[in-house]
């Protein structure tokens, strides 16, 4: 474990990403303390510039505090990213594991199904799903999960294909071990590294999709999120730049931080690939 | 000026910080005369390949570099030579053949183009001349139909043919020195014999000095004029082939030579007549299937095992020998039910286990266990050694504590420390891992062990230890063993009876001694004739 951290810390950018990510998580977790009131609560001071009337990052067209919105929205974005990714990894691993392990007919069926999902551009597909299901936080999570699991399935299938013929797996067969146990206890631990890496990068993508959906007005109207603030302020961009800018920056640095961490994990978990630099 | 082609003086090659040892090669002194073959022998990690790379100026810089010493080639110090000068020398004056011809050749260029490149970089010739010369070279290395091979891609040739093409390329410009880094290790014995003969022939033709790197003493005996034995980066002994092989002085050389299995079969042991396992008309084919919707060509159909009958008696070791592609591993995997045979019977304890379903098979799993070839691939890197060994009995329904206690016992039996129990496989060397693999197979108290090339990935001294261990265990537990190998020396020392396989068929079976003394099938005779170092063996045995 200490070895792992040493390798991770060798990548300075990854450490920076991790620090930013912790900051974002910290801000999200203290949102209720620093801004105890509802972020949807409007005041008498619409369109205040940053610093005016006690608004750190200004207020929007009906006087809602942008800073409060960003702070509460951080929780939404991170949670959606995390839950959607976990769900996508879960489904992807099951599909990929069965397809790769059994091969042949099972593989053909599962992979053709996966391809159906991959043929539709993912963001358009997500819009379609949310539009059908009614915008709510659940439907957003479901939509993101549905568009992102095929990548995991493909990856896991490839890993399983490579590992299932290794001699240690054959040794398990000769011991009389069952298929499920071989898949879960023997093969899966050996492909955790790439799964962790792709998972971390998927969190970033999920946050982007969520913001995009909220921007188009397909977010949950009752839950504050970064995309929601941007979508609300976009018509006012020329008179009140701060409404769109600050949540935009929040999305940018969060996604960037997660990507850096993902890169760092990749380097630390697959040390041989590091040789290229 | 000396008449040495090559003189290496006090050469040190440094490894990067944090490596196992500071110097890969330490204080190396070697010389080579024209027309001479010098064999560098050593086990893995002895620094023999790095020496060859240093000669070519191909050390993986900047981590590994020449720290001091000189490599003088016809009076010129190669450690000081500039990169453009080294490029001139490489290929035209010193050239190299590698172990694996498939990776050393460019897969997307024809053989002709690749030979042509050598001429284009180093010689002034018209394209017509170059082509003529290329065909001539391929003819010299006895490739059939050189005109066709010039236009062929590497994958269209067999392993032996590829190695011949490599040799043709290496000799294209009549180099003064030919470096051969384990050139026959990846080849079958019959092909190996042909390639060794070819290298010898080429050497007499071109009068070049050959630096031959190998781990195989049989090959040394056949090809070397002089020998240098390396251990941990140092040359521990040099001398004429006769002196080093027959009257070694250094204890390491002695140990290495005594580890080489003799070709004289061991005395056969009294054996019981009880048959524990028998195979009747086993057949196995691969391919021939179609894709989901039936489009495209059906896959290539290969009959890997055809009509094989064999009997394994209690307490004996039956060797299955053959070259790569002979179907011996497939046969072993059918018998242990890793693969399903198409037809035939595999009788164990009066039951045909060949046709059992998975759950019906489970109780029989404990009776027949396998030892795998590659000690690095056969242990799950994410699971602790103790669990790897105790897993089998737990699956078969034994309580955890008992299985773990037994696993600790087994570690001791196979000669490992009990502390290994809580460690991961990557903390062990190849030989130790193979011991762990053996402990895993023994954990279920099997009656039969199927060993698939259990020592072919190991160095010769470790190989001797593992073979000894297997022998002891077989005696102690009265095991019957099916021993798959391509190495007739190993077979001679381990097996009571032999089955010789070719193209999926058993061509000859019999007691090991009978087969070695009077082989009946012509293929068996070819195989035995191709084993390197036979004459040496005969002389030492007397």
Chain A residues within 8 A of B382 when measuring between CB atoms: 189-190
Interface of A with B (CB under 8 A): 105, 108, 166-168, 170-177, 185-186, 189-190
Q: What is the pLDDT of residue B350?
A: 82
Question: Cβ of B362 and A189 within 8 Å?
Answer: no
User: By CA distance, what is A179's nearest residue in B?
Assistant: B358
Interface test with B, best of A175, A194, A269, A275 (most B CBs within 10 A): A175
**CA–CA separation, B448 and B451 (whole Å):** 10
Q: What is the pLDDT of residue A87?
A: 96
Q: pLDDT 10s digit of each residue in chain B, 542 long?
A: 446 888 988 999 888 877 777 888 888 898 898 889 999 998 888 888 888 888 888 887 777 888 888 888 888 888 888 888 888 888 888 988 888 777 888 889 998 888 888 888 887 888 888 888 889 888 888 888 888 888 888 888 888 888 888 888 888 888 889 999 888 887 888 888 888 888 888 888 888 899 999 988 889 988 899 999 999 888 999 999 889 888 889 999 988 888 888 888 877 777 778 888 988 899 888 876 655 555 666 666 778 888 899 999 988 999 999 888 788 888 999 999 988 888 888 988 888 888 888 888 888 888 999 999 888 889 998 889 999 999 999 988 889 999 999 999 999 989 898 888 988 888 888 889 999 999 999 998 899 999 998 988 888 888 888 999 998 888 888 899 999 998 899 999 889 999 999 988 999 999 998 999 899 999 999 999 888 888 776 555 43
Question: Cβ of B391 and A177 within 8 Å?
Answer: yes
Q: What is the pLDDT of residue A271?
A: 57
Count of pairs with CB atoms under 8 A, one residue in A, one in B: 59
Distances (CA, A) of A18 to A264, A265, B420: 9, 11, 36
**CA–CA separation, A233 and A241 (whole Å):** 8
Q: What is the pLDDT of residue A265?
A: 85
**CA–CA separation, B495 and B514 (whole Å):** 12
Task: Quote the ipTM score.
Answer: 0.79
Q: Summarize pLDDT for A139-186 with one digit per residue, the tens.
A: 999 999 999 999 999 999 999 999 998 889 999 998 888 899 999 989
Which residues, in sequence order, are bridge partners of residue A78? none
Q: Select from B338, B373, B382 the Cβ nearest to the Cβ of A174.
A: B338
Q: B463 CA to chain A: closest CA distance, Å? A: 20
Chain B residues within 8 A of A176 when measuring between CB atoms: 361-362, 365-366, 392, 395-396
**CA–CA separation, B213 and B98 (whole Å):** 10
Q: Long-range CB contacts (< 8 A, 24+ apart) of B195-199?
A: B195/B160, B195/B163, B195/B164, B195/B167, B196/B222, B196/B223, B196/B532, B198/B141, B198/B142, B198/B164, B198/B167, B199/B167, B199/B223
Nearest alpha carbon to residue B166 among B263, B251, B101, B87: B101
Q: What is the pLDDT of residue B542?
A: 38
Residues 6+ apart with CB under 8 A from B258: B464
Question: Cβ of A186 and B374 within 8 Å?
Answer: no
Q: Select from B338, B373, B440 the Cβ nearest to the Cβ of A173.
A: B338
Q: Select from B366, B370, B382 the Cβ nearest to the Cβ of A171.
A: B370
Q: A113 CA to chain B: closest CA distance, Å? A: 14
DSSP SS3 for B30? strand
Q: B369 CA to chain A: closest CA distance, Å? A: 6
DSSP SS3 for B341? coil
Q: Which residues of chain A have pLDDT under 50?
A: 273-277
């Amino acid at each position: 474990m200490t070895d792992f951290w040493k390798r991770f810390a060798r990548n300075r950018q990854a450490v920076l990403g991790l620090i930013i990510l912790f900051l974002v998580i910290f801000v999200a977790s203290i949102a209720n303390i620093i801004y105890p009131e509802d972020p949807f609560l409007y005041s008498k001071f619409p369109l205040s510039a940053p610093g005016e009337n006690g608004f750190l990052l200004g207020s929007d067209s009906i006087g809602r505090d942008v800073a409060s919105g960003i702070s509460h929205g951080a929780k939404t974005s991170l949670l959606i990213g995390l839950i959607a990714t976990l769900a996508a990894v879960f489904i992807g691993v099951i599909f990929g594991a069965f397809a790769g392990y059994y091969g042949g007919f099972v593989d053909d069926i599962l992979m053709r199904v996966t391809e159906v999902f991959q043929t539709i551009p993912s963001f358009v597909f997500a819009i379609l799903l949310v539009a059908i299901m009614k915008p709510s936080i659940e439907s957003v999570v479901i939509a993101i999960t549905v568009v992102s699991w095929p990548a995991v399935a493909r990856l896991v299938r490839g890993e399983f294909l490579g590992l299932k013929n290794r001699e240690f797996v054959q040794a398990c067969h000769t011991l009389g071990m069952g298929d499920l146990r071989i898949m879960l206890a023997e093969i899966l631990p050996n492909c955790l590294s790439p799964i962790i890496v792709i998972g971390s990068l998927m969190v970033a993508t999920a946050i982007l999709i969520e913001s995009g959906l909220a921007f188009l007005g397909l977010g949950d109207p009752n839950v504050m999120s970064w995309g929601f603030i941007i979508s609300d302020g976009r018509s006012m961009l020329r008179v009140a730049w701060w409404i769109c800018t600050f949540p935009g920056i929040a999305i940018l640095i969060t996604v960037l931080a997660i990507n850096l961490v993902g890169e760092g994990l990749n380097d630390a978990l697959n040390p041989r690939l590091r040789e290229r630099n | 000026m000396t008449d040495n082609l090559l003189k290496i003086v006090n050469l040190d090659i440094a490894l990067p910080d944090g490596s196992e040892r500071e110097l890969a090669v330490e204080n190396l002194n070697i010389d080579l005369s024209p027309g001479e073959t010098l064999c560098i022998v050593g086990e893995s990690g002895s620094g023999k390949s790095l020496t060859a790379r240093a000669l070519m100026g191909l050390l993986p810089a900047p981590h590994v570099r020449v720290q001091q010493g000189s490599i003088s080639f016809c009076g010129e110090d190669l450690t000081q030579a500039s990169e453009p000068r080294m490029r001139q020398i490489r290929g035209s004056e010193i050239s190299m053949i590698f172990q694996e011809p498939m990776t050393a050749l460019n897969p997307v260029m024809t053989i002709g183009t690749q030979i042509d490149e050598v001429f284009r970089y180093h010689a002034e010739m018209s394209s017509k001349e170059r082509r003529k010369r290329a065909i001539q070279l391929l003819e010299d290395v006895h490739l059939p139909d050189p005109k066709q091979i010039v236009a062929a891609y590497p994958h269209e040739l067999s392993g032996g043919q590829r190695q011949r093409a490599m040799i043709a390329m290496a000799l294209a410009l009549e180099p003064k020195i030919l470096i051969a880094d384990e050139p026959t290790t990846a080849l079958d014995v019959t092909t190996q014999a042909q390639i060794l003969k070819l290298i010898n022939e080429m050497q007499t033709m071109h009068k070049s000095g050959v630096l031959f790197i190998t781990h195989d003493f049989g090959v040394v005996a056949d090809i070397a004029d002089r020998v240098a034995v390396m251990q941990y980066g140092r040359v521990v002994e040099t001398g004429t082939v006769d002196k080093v092989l027959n009257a070694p002085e250094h204890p390491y050389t002695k140990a290495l030579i005594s580890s080489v299995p003799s070709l004289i079969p061991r005395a056969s042991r009294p054996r019981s007549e009880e048959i524990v396992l028998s195979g009747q008309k086993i057949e196995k084919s691969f391919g021939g299937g179609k894709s989901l919707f039936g489009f495209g060509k059906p896959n290539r159909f290969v009959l890997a095992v055809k009509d094989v009958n064999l009997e394994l008696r209690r307490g004996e070791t039956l060797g299955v020998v053959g070259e790569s592609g002979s179907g011996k591993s497939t046969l072993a995997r059918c018998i242990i039910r890793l693969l399903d045979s198409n037809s035939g019977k595999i009788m164990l304890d009066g039951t045909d286990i060949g046709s059992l379903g998975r759950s019906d098979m489970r109780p029989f799993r404990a009776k027949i266990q396998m030892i795998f070839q590659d000690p690095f691939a056969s242990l799950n890197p994410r699971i602790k050694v103790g669990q790897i060994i105790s897993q089998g009995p737990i699956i078969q329904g034994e309580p955890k504590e008992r299985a773990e206690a037994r696993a600790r016992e087994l570690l001791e039996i196979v000669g490992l420390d009990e502390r290994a129990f809580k460690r991961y496989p990557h903390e062990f060397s190849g030989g130790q891992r193979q011991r762990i693999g053996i402990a895993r197979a023994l954990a279920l108290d099997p009656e039969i062990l199927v060993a698939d090339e259990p020592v072919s990935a190991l160095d010769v001294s470790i190989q001797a230890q593992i073979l000894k261990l297997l022998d002891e265990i077989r005696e102690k537990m009265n095991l019957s063993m099916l021993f798959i190998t391509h190495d007739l020396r190993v077979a001679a020392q381990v097996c009571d009876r032999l089955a010789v396989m070719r193209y999926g068929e058993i061509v000859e079976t019999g007691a090991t001694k009978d087969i070695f003394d009077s082989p009946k099938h012509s293929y068996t005779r070819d195989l035995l004739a191709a084993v390197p170092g036979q004459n040496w063996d005969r002389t030492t045995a007397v």
